[in-house]
Copies of this chain bind each other. A is one copy, B any other.
Amino acid sequence: MTNSRIVLDQSRIPTHWYNVIADMPNPPAPVLAPDGKPITPDQLMMIFPESLIMQEVSGERWIPIPEPVREIYKLWRPTPLQRAYRLEQALGTPARIWYKNESVSPAGSHKPNSAVPQAYYNKQAGIKRLSTETGAGQWGSAISLAGQMFGLEVMVYMVRISYDQKPFRRSMMQTWGARVLPSPTNTTRSGSKILAADPESPGSLGIAISEAVEVAAENPDTNYTLGSVLNHVLLHQTVIGLEAKEQMQIAGDYPDVIFAPCGGGSNFGGIAFPFLADKAAGKNIRLVAVEPTSCPTLTRGHYAYDFGDSVGLTPMLRMYTLGHDFVPPGIHAGGLRYHGDSALVSQLYHEKIIEAVAVDQIATFEAGVLFAKTEGIIPAPESNHAIRACIDEALRCKASGEPKCLLFNLSGHGHFDMAAYDRFFRGELEDYAYPQEAIEAALEHLPKVALG
């Protein structure tokens, strides 16, 4: 009997997160305050605990994982690494396809990997309440779970289109004790302003971020949490790649190419960064961020300073962006509908250390259904992007006869996304190429920052 799943004992949960900054050829571009000057830790302390700010700017290669965090990780980690034999057979490819299964967490995605330490550090800092935004609902679920584990209140601003399309994600957050609000709301100045201009606004991640940040900035007992983009979030997610490296070693294999969905970058950074350390040491490995053609941040955006939210309350990051006032089309991979991207992922892409590819929505669902029919698990729409890119590579291997080793991150399951699958089966999904005019127009809305 061939072993198709590599499981690790709980004692193998990593003891340290891996900080990719230590292996980058150039230091990260500074984060700028709205006045254009590098931001100081003091300015961030209104909404973040000091421990997370220190992680945000750290250059240390290894950051210790606190034991109480590892104790909660134990509820589902280490996650399995699985060989997709049945998918390989269906494709008739000589490629070996592996996937890291992050869908086994109680929240159903990789997101709790960062939610748990964020809740822990805030609890340590004496914070009583966490605010956050959520798009697809995966991050909101994760922080609701994590807040519960450390006895913190949680307030989730959920993008209205997702709130309406995914009522059961809301129920899930409520089961873990969180309060969930459809954003934009009238509970904040940012939300009220948007609603005044467009009472039917479907919302966006950018708007929801503005609301959650505003609440945190104005309440001393409340801090803000973010599920992607920031350095410390990607840091926490490296448990995925660290475990996967050990599991690949046990399997006696090593990936030629890694694929992960990329919205804000936590999914991609989580699995890819620990392998980037090998690449920095000379190993031949390709790391591919996969994004939707409808939100082509890396593949078609501008590499520039921009705000993290849509209103302009946050500091400015140098990143690939479609413009902070970008309003994404209503595609079903809600977790990938973000105007910007992680500064670390952006810089690594700009320096050609990692790659990016954009895929069409319908093709991603075709890939997800083939995966479900062969491997059983029904993937999240975000994960379908990685599966699509991985299948395309496996088919290229079939054409060329190359027996490559491919690895992708199955970032979550699709149990709360079945309405999207329904639309796919009914032929109602559309592909949407983001218009070139909008990309050009975004240039004019970017904040004016002199690049040093």
Q: CA–CA, A362 to B213, complex, Å? A: 37
Contact of A175 among B71, B167, B375, B378 (CB under 8 A): B378
Contact of A10 among B3, B145, B167, B425 (CB under 8 A): B3
Chain B residues with Cβ below 8 Å from A441 are: none
Contact of A418 among B171, B373, B419 (CB under 8 A): B171
Contact of A176 among B167, B174, B373 (CB under 8 A): B373
Decide yes or no: A5 and B10 within 8 Å by CB, A375-B75, A416-B415 being known contacts.
yes
Chain B residues with Cβ below 8 Å from A175 are: 369, 372-373, 378, 418, 421, 425
Is A76 a contact of B376 with CB atoms below 8 Å?
yes
Instruction: Tell yes or no: A318 within 8 A of B by CB.
Output: no
Question: Which residue of chain B has its CB nearest to the CB of A423?
Answer: B171
Instruction: Tell yes or no: A41 within 8 A of B by CB.
Output: no
Decide yes or no: A377 and B106 within 8 Å by CB, A175-B369, A425-B174 being known contacts.
yes
Question: Which residue of chain B has its CB nearest to the CB of A413?
Answer: B415
Is B418 a contact of A172 with CB atoms below 8 Å?
yes
Most buried by B among A67, A74, A148, A419: A74
Instruction: Tell yes or no: A70 within 8 A of B by CB.
Output: yes
Q: What is the copy number of this chain in the assembly?
A: 2
Is B9 a contact of A415 with CB atoms below 8 Å?
no
Instruction: Tell yes or no: A104 within 8 A of B by CB.
Output: yes
Is B419 a contact of A5 with CB atoms below 8 Å?
no
Instruction: Tell yes or no: A429 within 8 A of B by CB.
Output: no
Instruction: Tell yes or no: A34 within 8 A of B by CB.
Output: no
Report A104 CB to chain B, min CB distance, Å.
Answer: 6
Map CB proximity to B onto A1-30 as digits: 1 under 8 Å, 0 otherwise. Answer: 101110101110100000000000000000
Q: CA–CA, A108 to B168, complex, Å? A: 16
Decide yes or no: A418 and B167 within 8 Å by CB, A70-B1, A372-B175 being known contacts.
yes
Instruction: Tell yes or no: A59 within 8 A of B by CB.
Output: no
Instruction: Tell yes or no: A312 within 8 A of B by CB.
Output: no
* Besides the known contacts A106-B375, A171-B418, A175-B418, 17 further A-B residue pairs in the complex with CB atoms under 8 A apart: A1-B11, A3-B11, A5-B74, A75-B375, A75-B377, A76-B376, A86-B149, A106-B372, A106-B378, A167-B419, A168-B415, A172-B415, A174-B421, A174-B425, A175-B373, A177-B373, A415-B416
What are 22 A-B interface contacts by the 8 Å CB criterion? A1-B70, A3-B11, A4-B10, A5-B74, A75-B86, A75-B376, A75-B377, A76-B376, A107-B376, A148-B373, A149-B376, A167-B419, A168-B418, A168-B419, A171-B418, A171-B422, A172-B415, A174-B422, A175-B369, A175-B372, A175-B418, A176-B373
